[in-house]
Structure 1
Amino acid sequence: MLRNVLALRQLSQRTISTASRRQFENKVREKQKLFQEDNGIPVHLKGGVADALLYRATMVLTVGGTIYALYLLGVASMPKKQS
């Protein structure tokens, strides 16, 4: 039992460390050049295809939700039929 606890403690200390195992290339300068470039594209679309798709999906959901809310308000404002 004690051996298992000590092994778990050692494993947890080994996996949670501040030292990075992989070194990633710093791409901040490239991203700064891309986003600061004056090419007429709005900044929220300069990220490429993924940004354009996210923007369009957001706009579709916003417009669709607004239309649906207005429809529900119209339905709620009509009196119910007496049968």
Structure 2
Amino acid sequence: MLLNLLALHQSAQRTISTASRRQIENKVPEKQKLFQEDNGIPLHLKGGVAEALLFRATMTLTVGGIAYAVYQLAMASFPKKQD
């Protein structure tokens, strides 16, 4: 029991490192050039096909959610008549 407590105490004192061990290539400057380029393409389409599909899915879910919320509000506003 005491050994487990000491092990927990030691692991709690270790510092957590946020530095990655593997060096990853920084792609931010490339993306900045792509998105800041003035070529007449809307921002949500500059990322390619994946970005366009993500945008369309988001808009579909948003419109569907709004329609469902309005429907539920309408159903709550007009309660069923009791016979």
User: What's the TM-score once normalised by structure 2's chain length?
Assistant: 0.64
How much does 1:69 deviate? 1.4
How much does 1:17 deviate? 4.4
Corresponding residue number in structure 2 for 1:64 = 64
User: What's the TM-score once normalised by structure 1's chain length?
Assistant: 0.64
For the structure 1 residues 36 and 78, does the alpha-carbon distance in structure 2 shift closer, same or farther, using more than 3 Å as the test?
same
Aligned length: 76
How much does 1:42 deviate? 1.9
Matched, 1:35 2:35: yes
For residue 74 of structure 2, give the secondary structure of its aligned residue in structure 1: helix
Corresponding residue number in structure 1 for 2:80 = 80
For the structure 1 residues 20 and 77, does the alpha-carbon distance in structure 2 shift closer, same or farther, using more than 3 Å as the test?
closer
User: Which amino acid in 1 is paired with 2:23?
Assistant: Q
Unmatched tracts of structure 1, length 5 or more = none
Q: Percent identity?
A: 73
User: RMSD across aligned C-alpha pairs, in angstroms?
Assistant: 2.7
For residue 24 of structure 2, give the secondary structure of its aligned residue in structure 1: coil
For the structure 1 residues 60 and 22, does the alpha-carbon distance in structure 2 shift closer, same or farther, using more than 3 Å as the test?
same
Corresponding residue number in structure 1 for 2:44 = 44
